Chain A
Amino acid sequence: MTDAAIDTTRGAGAPNYLTAGTRVRSWLLSTDHKRIAILYFATITVFFMIGGAAATLMRMELFTPEADVVSADGYNKLFTLHGVIMVFFFLVPAIPTTLGNFILPLAIGARDMAFPRVNLISWYLTLSGGMLALASMLLGGVDTGWTFYTPYSSVYSNSYVTLAALGVFISGFGNIATGVNFIVTVHTQRAPGLGWRRLPLFVWSIYATSIIFVLGTPALAVALLMVVVERLFGLGLLDPARGGDPILFQHVFWFYSHPAVYIMVLPAMGVVTEVITCFARRRVFGYTMMVGAMLAIAVVSFFVWGHHMFVSGQSLYASLIFSFLSFVIAVPSAIKVFNWTATLYGGHITFESPMLYAMGFVGLFTLGGLTGLFLASVPIDVHVHDTYFIVAHFHYIMVGGSVAAFFAGLHFWWPKITGRTYNERMARAAAILMFLGFNFTFFPQFIVGYLGMPRRYHVYLDQFQVWNVASSLGAVILAAAYILPLCYLGWSLIGGHKAGDDPWEATGLEWQTSSPPPEHNFERLPLVTEEAYAYHEKHEHPKERGGGNQDSQGTGHRTRQERSGGRHGPGPHADNPAGGGR
C-alpha cells in the first residue's frame, strides 16, 4: 500500500495498478479494488482446480458400475470436497469478487469501493474460510455432502464436519461484507451524471446479488451453527428424541442456498448482457425489463426454498405454494433469455471469443432453466429429486451458465485487467470445446437421472453404465477445455500484444481509462451524459445521428440525448452523482 498522495492528473507514463508496487506486502495489504480482485482471482483459480480434480476422480470412478477407483467413504469425501469447494469457494465468490471487484468501480466511474479496507478484510475472510475447509479435507475429509443434512452431519458423521462448517461460516462473513460494500459503492460512488437508469446491467446484477449476499448468508450461518453446536455441545435443536427436528435445518439451509443459486447466476446474466451488447453493437433490448427481472429474481428467490423439500414429508399445501412460486421465478429468467435474443436483432454482430462464451451461456442457461420447470412441478420432482437429473440441472445453471459467463467476462475484460491480448484463435477453440464438452458430460446425466440413478452413488445398476461412460468421456473434453484458457491466458501475460484502452470499442466507463488502469482508475474522472450501451451512436451512419430516434428500443431512458459534448466529457470529480436521486 502506498501512502503517497494521489495525483489524479498524472501523465500517461505513470505506473498502472500492476506496477505501482512490487513487494509482496504491497499486494497482501493493498486496498486497491483491482489488486484485491487479482487476489481473489488467484484464490478461486486454485479452488477451482482442487474442485475440478475431485470431479475428475469421481468421473473416473463412475466409468464402471463397480467401486474400482475409490472406496465408498473415499467417494463420499470426494463429492463433499467437490461440492463444498465449488459452491462456497468458487461459484459464489467467482464473478462478484473478481470481475465485480475489478470492474464495478470502474464501470461506475469510482476511484475505489466505498470501504476499501473492508474489501481487503473480505478477501482474508474468504481465504481463511477456504483454508479451514481445505484443512478439514486434508485432515481426513468430510463425508456429509455440501448440503450438510442433519441428523447425518450433526450426529452420525465421523468426519471433520465442524471444521468444514466453520470454514463456510467464516467465508460467509466475507460474502456479507462484500455485499454491503457493493451496495454502498453503487449508492455513493457513481460518477456525475450516472443515474440509476444509466447503470450498466452488470452493475445492476452485482447490486441484486449483493442483496442476496446480505439477506441470505446469515441464514446459512445459523444453519451451520446449529450443526456445529449440536456436534460440539450436544444441543438438541435438530434431535427428534428431544423434540428437535432435522427438517428445521433443511428449511434454514435452503433459505440461503436457493437464493445462492441466484448469487451464482445473476452476475453471470450481467456479464453476458455486457458482452452481447458489445459484440452485437446494439443497445440492450428492454433495459427496464432487464433491471426489473433481476430485482424480481433477487426478491422471489427468497420464497422458493421449499421446492427442495417436496419429498421430505412437507405438507402438500406448502409444496404447492413453493411450486407455484418456483414457476413464478421462471418468468423473469425467461424474459432475460428473450431479451438477449432480441438484442441481436438489427446488430452488427461479430463472434469474438467472449461472444462465443456468452452465446454458450444463453443456450445452456435456457436448457438449465427449462429443466427447472420439470423440477418445479411437484409430481415430476418426486421422481427426479435426488437423482442425476438434479445434478445435470444445476450443473447446466451453475457450470454451463455461471462458469461460461465467468469465462465470457474474463475474456472480455482480460485486455483491461492485464493490458494484454490473448490468442484469439485458441480462445474461440476453447469456447466451442467447452460448450460441446459440457453438453457431452451433462446431457447424459438428465437421462440417467430420469432412469432412476440417485446422486451420490459410486456403485450403480448395470443399465446406467452407458450414460455414465458417455458422461465420463465428455468430462475429458471438458477438462481439456478448462485447461486450455489457463495456457493461452497465462502465455498472454508474457507474450501477449499490448491491448489498447478499448480494444472492443465498447461503451462502458471502464473502457475510458487506460489498460491496465492507473492506481486510482481515472486520469480524469468521467462525466456521464447518456445511458448505457449507446453502440448505435458509435456505429450507425453519422448522418442519422441528429435525426429521429434511430433505435427506439429501451423505451423510457431516452430522456437526454446530449450529443454536443461527446460521450464522457472531462469534468471535475464531484462524488455526488447528479442523476443519482431519481
Chain B
Amino acid sequence: MTPESVHAAEPNQPFLRWSRQREATTFGLWIFLASEMVFFGALMMGYAMHRYLWPDAFEVAGAHTNIWYGSINTAILLTSSATMAVAAWAARDGLRRTVLTGLGLTAALGMAFLVLKGFEYREDFNEDLIPGIVAFPLDPPQTQIFFSYYWMMTGIHAVHLTIGIGAVLTVAWVVAKGRTDWTQSGTLHGLALYWHLIDVIWIFLYPLLYLVGRG
C-alpha cells in the first residue's frame, strides 16, 4: 500500500471524522484505566490493612525480596515508558521509522523485564518463599501474607505486561504493513496510555514490595 492510499483511509465505523475517533479512543482508554486502578487499588487496600495489622512480619518479609532485580526492573520499565512516549508522539508527525524503532525498543525492554522477573521468581522458588507450603522459611507466619501479596501483585502485573507487549508488537506490525492510518487514529496514544499505566502500577509496587523491609 502506498502512503497516499493509507491517508485516504476512512475512520472506523461509526466515526465519520478522525478527530472524533482519536478522542473516543483515548477517552475510552482513560475510563478503562480507571477500572484498572480499582483493581490494583483493591489489592493495595488489602496490603495496607495487613501491613497495619502485622508491621513486623511485613518488615521481615519485605527484606527477603531481591532489591537488585526490583531496582533494575524499575529502571527498565521507566525507560520503556520513554521509548513508548517517543513512538506515540512520533506517530503524530508521521515519522514511521521512529515509531517502529520506539515500539521495537518498548517491546524489547518489556521482555527484558519479564526475563529478569523470571529469574527473580526462580530465586524465590529456590528459597521456598511460597505461602502455603509446610516449611515456610520465614517467621512469624504472617510473612506468608506479605508473600501472598507479592505473588499476586507481581503476577497480575506480569500478565498486564505480557498483554502490553503483545499489543505493542501487533501495533508495530500494523504500522509496518500500513494497515491503518496510524497517524490519524488514536491507536498509538491509546497503546501508550496502557503502557504508562503498567509503568505507574509498578512504581507503586516497587516501594510496597521491595523497600518496606529496608527502611
Do residues B145 and A110 form an inter-chain contact, with CB atoms below 8 A?
Answer: no
Task: List 13 extra interface pairs beyond A219-B39, A520-B14, CB under 8 A.
Answer: A112-B13, A184-B28, A188-B24, A214-B34, A221-B39, A233-B130, A233-B132, A235-B132, A242-B144, A243-B144, A248-B46, A252-B45, A252-B46
- 22-64 of chain A: CB within 8 A of chain B: 31
A114's closest neighbor in chain B, by CB?
Answer: B24
**Interface: B120 (CB within 8 A):** no
Residue of A113, A217, A234 most packed against chain B (CB within 10 A): A234
Contacts A112-B14, A115-B28, A219-B42 given; indicate if A180 touches B142 (C-beta within 8 A). no
Q: Within 8 Å CB of A575, what residues of B?
A: 14-17, 20
Where chain B touches its partner, the secondary structure class is helix
Q: Within 8 Å CB of B13, what residues of A?
A: 6, 31, 111-112, 116
Q: Which of A188, A217, A245 meets B23, CB within 8 Å?
A: A188
Q: Which of A113, A188, A235 meets B148, CB within 8 Å?
A: A235
**Interface: B94 (CB within 8 A):** no
Residue of B39, B49, B130, B133 most packed against chain A (CB within 10 A): B39
Contacts A189-B14, A218-B35, A222-B39 given; indicate if A243 touches B145 (C-beta within 8 A). yes
Q: Within 8 Å CB of A181, what residues of B?
A: 28
A229's closest neighbor in chain B, by CB?
Answer: B152
Do residues B14 and A242 form an inter-chain contact, with CB atoms below 8 A?
Answer: no
Q: Within 8 Å CB of A236, what residues of B?
A: 131-132, 144-145, 148
Q: Within 8 Å CB of A226, what residues of B?
A: 46, 152
Do residues A218 and B28 form an inter-chain contact, with CB atoms below 8 A?
Answer: no
Do residues A217 and B35 form an inter-chain contact, with CB atoms below 8 A?
Answer: yes
Q: Within 8 Å CB of A114, what residues of B?
A: 14, 24, 28
**Interface: B8 (CB within 8 A):** no
**Interface: B115 (CB within 8 A):** no
Do residues B20 and A188 form an inter-chain contact, with CB atoms below 8 A?
Answer: yes
Query: How far, in Å, is A366 (CB) from chain B's closest CB?
Result: 32
Q: Which of A218, A219, A234 meets B131, CB within 8 Å?
A: A234
Q: Within 8 Å CB of A188, what residues of B?
A: 20, 23-24, 27
A370 to B17, CA, bound (A): 49
Q: Which of A110, A225, A243 meets B53, CB within 8 Å?
A: A243
Q: Within 8 Å CB of B14, what residues of A?
A: 105, 110-114, 116, 189, 520, 575
**Interface: B31 (CB within 8 A):** yes
**Interface: B72 (CB within 8 A):** no
B155's closest neighbor in chain A, by CB?
Answer: A229
Do residues B57 and A243 form an inter-chain contact, with CB atoms below 8 A?
Answer: yes
Q: Which of A105, A222, A245 meets B43, CB within 8 Å?
A: A222
Subset of 5 A-B contacts with CB under 8 Å: A110-B14, A180-B35, A222-B46, A237-B145, A248-B46
- 235-251 of chain A: CB within 8 A of chain B: 235-237, 241-245, 248
Do residues A180 and B141 form an inter-chain contact, with CB atoms below 8 A?
Answer: no
A217 to B14, CA, bound (A): 27
Do residues A243 and B141 form an inter-chain contact, with CB atoms below 8 A?
Answer: yes
Contacts A112-B13, A225-B152 given; indicate if A180 touches B31 (C-beta within 8 A). yes
Where chain A touches its partner, the secondary structure class is helix
Query: How far, in Å, is B26 (CB) from chain A's closest CB?
Result: 10
**Interface: B36 (CB within 8 A):** yes
- 2-28 of chain B: CB within 8 A of chain A: 12-17, 20, 23-24, 27-28
B145's closest neighbor in chain A, by CB?
Answer: A243
**Interface: A255 (CB within 8 A):** yes
Do residues B27 and A252 form an inter-chain contact, with CB atoms below 8 A?
Answer: no
0/1 string, A88-123, CB within 8 A of B gives 1: 000000000000000001000011111110000000
Query: How far, in Å, is B87 (CB) from chain A's closest CB?
Result: 22
**Interface: A576 (CB within 8 A):** yes
B residues engaging A (CB < 8 A)? Answer: 12-17, 20, 23-24, 27-28, 31-32, 34-36, 38-39, 42-43, 45-46, 49-50, 53-54, 57, 130-133, 140-142, 144-145, 148-149, 151-152, 156
Q: Which of B31, B133, B156 meets A183, CB within 8 Å?
A: B31
A179 to B34, CA, bound (A): 12
Q: Within 8 Å CB of A183, what residues of B?
A: 28, 31
Query: How far, in Å, is A175 (CB) from chain B's closest CB?
Result: 10
Do residues B151 and A235 form an inter-chain contact, with CB atoms below 8 A?
Answer: yes
**Interface: A538 (CB within 8 A):** no
Do residues A184 and B31 form an inter-chain contact, with CB atoms below 8 A?
Answer: yes
Do residues B42 and A242 form an inter-chain contact, with CB atoms below 8 A?
Answer: no
Residue of A112, A244, A248 most packed against chain B (CB within 10 A): A244
Q: Within 8 Å CB of B133, what residues of A?
A: 234
**Interface: A348 (CB within 8 A):** no
Q: Within 8 Å CB of B145, what residues of A?
A: 236-237, 242-244
Do residues A215 and B38 form an inter-chain contact, with CB atoms below 8 A?
Answer: yes
Q: Which of B31, B36, B132, B152 meets A218, CB within 8 Å?
A: B36
Q: Within 8 Å CB of A111, what residues of B?
A: 13-14
Do residues B35 and A215 form an inter-chain contact, with CB atoms below 8 A?
Answer: yes
Do residues A180 and B53 form an inter-chain contact, with CB atoms below 8 A?
Answer: no
Q: Within 8 Å CB of B53, what residues of A?
A: 243
Query: How far, in Å, is A168 (CB) from chain B's closest CB?
Result: 15
Query: How far, in Å, is A151 (CB) from chain B's closest CB?
Result: 14
Residue of B17, B45, B49 most packed against chain A (CB within 10 A): B45
Contacts A176-B32, A184-B27 given; indicate if A243 touches B54 (C-beta within 8 A). yes
A573 to B20, CA, bound (A): 13
**Interface: A498 (CB within 8 A):** no
A112 to B50, CA, bound (A): 46
A461 to B132, CA, bound (A): 42
Q: Within 8 Å CB of B20, what residues of A?
A: 188, 575-576
Q: Within 8 Å CB of A6, what residues of B?
A: 13
A575 to B23, CA, bound (A): 12
Query: How far, in Å, is B83 (CB) from chain A's closest CB?
Result: 27
Q: Within 8 Å CB of B31, what residues of A?
A: 179-180, 183-184, 214
**Interface: A187 (CB within 8 A):** yes
Do residues A237 and B38 form an inter-chain contact, with CB atoms below 8 A?
Answer: no
Do residues A242 and B32 form an inter-chain contact, with CB atoms below 8 A?
Answer: no
Do residues B28 and A243 form an inter-chain contact, with CB atoms below 8 A?
Answer: no
Q: Which of A221, A241, A245, A248 meets B141, CB within 8 Å?
A: A241
Q: Within 8 Å CB of A229, what residues of B?
A: 148, 151-152
B57's closest neighbor in chain A, by CB?
Answer: A243
Contacts A214-B34, A243-B57, A243-B145 given; indicate if A573 touches B28 (C-beta within 8 A). no
A575 to B39, CA, bound (A): 33
Q: Which of B17, B24, B49 meets A248, CB within 8 Å?
A: B49
A214's closest neighbor in chain B, by CB?
Answer: B35
A88 to B38, CA, bound (A): 20
